With several copies, the nearest count.
Chain A
Amino acid sequence: MDLSFTQEDEAFRAEVRAFLQDKLPARLSDKVRKGQRLTKADMEEWHAILNARGWLANHWPVEWGGTGWSVMQRFIFETEVALAHAPRIVPFGLSMLAPVLIKYGSEAQKKHWLPRILDGTDWWCQGYSEPGAGSDLAALKTSAVREGDHYVVNGQKTWTTLGQYADMIFCLVRTDNQGKKQEGISFLLIDMKTPGIEVRPIKLLDGDYEVNEVFFTDVRVPVANLVGEENKGWTYAKYLLTYERTNIAGVGASMAAFERLKQVAATQRRNGRPLAQDPQFAARLARLEIDLENMKTTNLRVLAAAGAGHAPTAESSMLKIRGTEIRQQISDLMRRAAGVHAQPFVTEALEEGFNGPAVGPDFAAPAASHYFNYRKLSIFGGSNEVQREIISKAILEL
């Protein structure tokens, strides 16, 4: 039993920190820290910086541009990046499509698409959910009918995050209506500029645009854009859903957010004393700090097991549930800390370079928006109810 990081790991951490110190633009980390909205250009900028350093695709095989890092190194990297308030890297191409291509794609597909993911040529988005297929993803209906060298795609996808910026979308489509619903699904890569595609933004309850509906009307997709075999898409989709979930708890992001919360609690006052000394708030804060410390160690235990060759399966579901609960609780305490200043909805304050008169303490401006927005964490990416089903079946054998 030894929970200390190795000397090599600590040296690696120092290297990551030095890099972040050197290369992470203060303009970007400042926006992230303040909870301001990132533009497409902001995200592309950070993507390019990481790619230049060779650390972008750190979980890919080395031959395709990976770093060969251990799971522990990847954990350290993710944590440090989050603690430094770096922008989140959009995962759709890099962490979702790429692993599928690497495992199931043709040589030609890998050679064509992987470099373009690295250099940012293609901004990818995900076409999984449909209005009638949420938790029950396999119930999807968007159809792809083979016509010569093309599939003709009709249907609708939804909850497509950042689809408004995307050049490409990877889609689960139905190529066969016979048999079980999990059979007859195929995995297609579709150019967003193809005629017949329409992207409609979905306005979320916090007023933000980050998800979209994507409509397909007779969209012609070259057969070369089929990944793997026709009707085997469910296998690839499941692989994608279980791949690289060691960082699903978002420990780094929660640590960074919690540090900010702690600062707020030390300075923001209620009833004549800092919130950190308010009995109820102090108890909420302490419980959260303890939960976070516990989750961090649970995460490390899963990583250590993964490093020893035990692929985490349902353990990821525990990390997903507790990780999102903690992230939501941090945002919950932030909004509580804002007091009456949670109500003002000064959206300009969420934009870079906002110079208007502040309304309340600066952390308050995005507090309620974040709280409401983070409701998504327990819904998307496999709802926490679905994760409980997985735990119940896979770990508890009920």
Chain B
Amino acid sequence: MDFSLGEDRQMLVDTLGRFLAGNFDWKTRETVIETAEGWSRPVWAQLAKLGVIGALFDEASGGFGGSAFDIGVVFAEVGKALAVGPFLGTLLAGRALAATGETALLEQAIAGEVILSAALDSDAAQGVADGEGWALTGTQPVVPFAASADRIVVAARTGEGPSLFLIEKGAPGIEIRDYPLIDGGAAGELMLDGAAATLLGQAGEASAIIEEAVAAGLVALCWEAVAIMDSLKVQTLEYLRTRKQFGIAIGKFQALQHRMATLALEIEQARSSAINAADRFAKGRLEREKAVSAAKFTIGRVGSLAAEEAIQMHGGIGMTWELPLSHYAKRLVMIGHQLGDEDMHLERFIALGQDALATAS
């Protein structure tokens, strides 16, 4: 059993951490999130050059990593720096492209030349064959950095069942209502009205591919969340040690000490859940899905607790835009809303358990 990252992965972490600390500091972030696109293309280009995007994919797909732990450590650094950018969309779309053999496009994305996004709710759009291609109709909600994406992988239902498609920026029949997000960055409603699309893989065969891509996304979000919790904990402890009321540091108040002890304990549990999700990712479907749902449930539950406690213990100052803490708290709570929330994943965990029983008997 080995809980160390290993040399290569540790190097990736160090490189990425140093880069973000130097090139995506708090001031940069504040500027970037106020821009129209809500992210920084130069920073992204440099990340691509550093191999960070490639770390999300395996060598067969043109990347240099691609294991769940690789994904985890990259997103942990993203969380630590509260970096904004098309990380999640690239991961989700890229996994789908890799699974359907579209490595040429993926390689361009890994090189930073093409920006990807993904809209993977197959109930939100329908696809019909249209000559040699396909036409998609429907609305995909909150597609990450939709307006910035050159290509978007879109799930849609066809006569054959859930299918995956690729659409291209500016193609007719595509409208994007874009907006900033409360936790930084941007997204958009992707409104499709007979939009021209290319089929990825086989029609009707997308369910397993989508599930695997989403599982990778869940691992990513969980590791990002744990890094944010760590940051909230460190910031709050620092505040508790220095802020004085009634003549002493408020960290000396036992009621707060015990709450912080509980929070620290819960964060370790959340970390374990994220490690479990990454570890089970390469196992069979049921084990993988139970672990990612367990992790998403855990980081949802602990995430709200951490965000709320961190703000509460800071008092008023914890509610200000000026303090980075409040942005960490917002991002953490909003991670809870991505790819299924705490409740949904608890229900899913229960259902998967019942599936397992049914299979066993």
Q: Which A residues are within 8 Å of any B CB, using their own CB?
A: 1-6, 9, 72, 129, 132, 134-136, 139, 158-159, 202-207, 211, 266, 270-271, 276-287, 289-291, 293-298, 300-301, 303-305, 318, 321-322, 332, 335-336, 338-346, 357, 359-360, 368-369, 371-373, 375-376, 378-380, 383-385, 387-389, 391-392, 395-398
Contact of B341 among A4, A336, A359, A395 (CB under 8 A): A336
In the bound complex, do residue A396 and residue B279 qualify as a contact, i.e. CB atoms below 8 Å apart?
A: no
Among A1, A211, A335, A360, residue most surrounded by chain B Cβ atoms (within 10 Å): A1
Minimal beta-carbon separation of A304 from chain B (angstroms): 5
The interface residues of chain A lying within 8 Å CB-to-CB of B182 are 206-207, 342-345, 368-369, 372
Minimal beta-carbon separation of B7 from chain A (angstroms): 12
In the bound complex, do residue A297 and residue B276 qualify as a contact, i.e. CB atoms below 8 Å apart?
A: yes
In the bound complex, do residue B257 and residue A396 qualify as a contact, i.e. CB atoms below 8 Å apart?
A: yes
In the bound complex, do residue B261 and residue A391 qualify as a contact, i.e. CB atoms below 8 Å apart?
A: yes
Contact of A1 among B2, B273, B333 (CB under 8 A): B2
Residue of A nearest to B322 (CB): A203
- Residue interface bits B312-323, CB-to-A below 8 A is 1, else 0: 100110111110
In the bound complex, do residue A1 and residue B343 qualify as a contact, i.e. CB atoms below 8 Å apart?
A: no
Q: Which B residues are within 8 Å of any A CB, using their own CB?
A: 1-6, 9, 69, 141-142, 177, 179-183, 187, 189, 237, 240-241, 244-247, 251-252, 255-258, 260-262, 264-265, 268-273, 275-276, 278-279, 291, 294, 297-298, 304, 308, 311-312, 315-316, 318-322, 326-327, 329-330, 333-334, 337-338, 341, 343-344, 346-347, 349-350, 353-354, 357
In the bound complex, do residue B241 and residue A298 qualify as a contact, i.e. CB atoms below 8 Å apart?
A: no
In the bound complex, do residue B252 and residue A398 qualify as a contact, i.e. CB atoms below 8 Å apart?
A: yes
Contact of B245 among A1, A9, A136, A378 (CB under 8 A): A136
In the bound complex, do residue A343 and residue B268 qualify as a contact, i.e. CB atoms below 8 Å apart?
A: no
Question: Given A1-B6, A136-B245, A298-B268, does the pair A388, B315 have CB atoms closer than 8 Å?
Answer: no
CA distance A336 to B189 in the complex (A): 19
Contact of B276 among A281, A293, A305 (CB under 8 A): A293
The interface residues of chain A lying within 8 Å CB-to-CB of B343 are 278, 280-281, 284, 336
Minimal beta-carbon separation of A213 from chain B (angstroms): 10
CA distance A270 to B318 in the complex (A): 33
In the bound complex, do residue B346 and residue A379 qualify as a contact, i.e. CB atoms below 8 Å apart?
A: no
CA distance A389 to B264 in the complex (A): 12
In the bound complex, do residue B268 and residue A318 qualify as a contact, i.e. CB atoms below 8 Å apart?
A: yes
In the bound complex, do residue A396 and residue B237 qualify as a contact, i.e. CB atoms below 8 Å apart?
A: yes
The interface residues of chain A lying within 8 Å CB-to-CB of B264 are 318, 391, 395-396
Question: Given A1-B2, A135-B315, A322-B269, does the pair A286, B276 have CB atoms closer than 8 Å?
Answer: no
Question: Given A343-B182, A389-B257, does the pair A360, B141 have CB atoms closer than 8 Å?
Answer: yes
The interface residues of chain A lying within 8 Å CB-to-CB of B320 are 202-205
Contact of B240 among A139, A388, A398 (CB under 8 A): A398
In the bound complex, do residue A2 and residue B2 qualify as a contact, i.e. CB atoms below 8 Å apart?
A: yes
The interface residues of chain B lying within 8 Å CB-to-CB of A279 are 347
Residue of B nearest to A2 (CB): B2
In the bound complex, do residue B321 and residue A385 qualify as a contact, i.e. CB atoms below 8 Å apart?
A: no
Among A271, A298, A344, residue most surrounded by chain B Cβ atoms (within 10 Å): A344
CA distance A2 to B121 in the complex (A): 33
Minimal beta-carbon separation of A42 from chain B (angstroms): 23
Residue of A nearest to B349 (CB): A286
CA distance A139 to B294 in the complex (A): 45
CA distance A342 to B260 in the complex (A): 28
Question: Given A1-B69, A1-B275, A279-B347, does the pair A345, B319 have CB atoms closer than 8 Å?
Answer: no
In the bound complex, do residue A343 and residue B334 qualify as a contact, i.e. CB atoms below 8 Å apart?
A: yes
Minimal beta-carbon separation of A335 from chain B (angstroms): 8
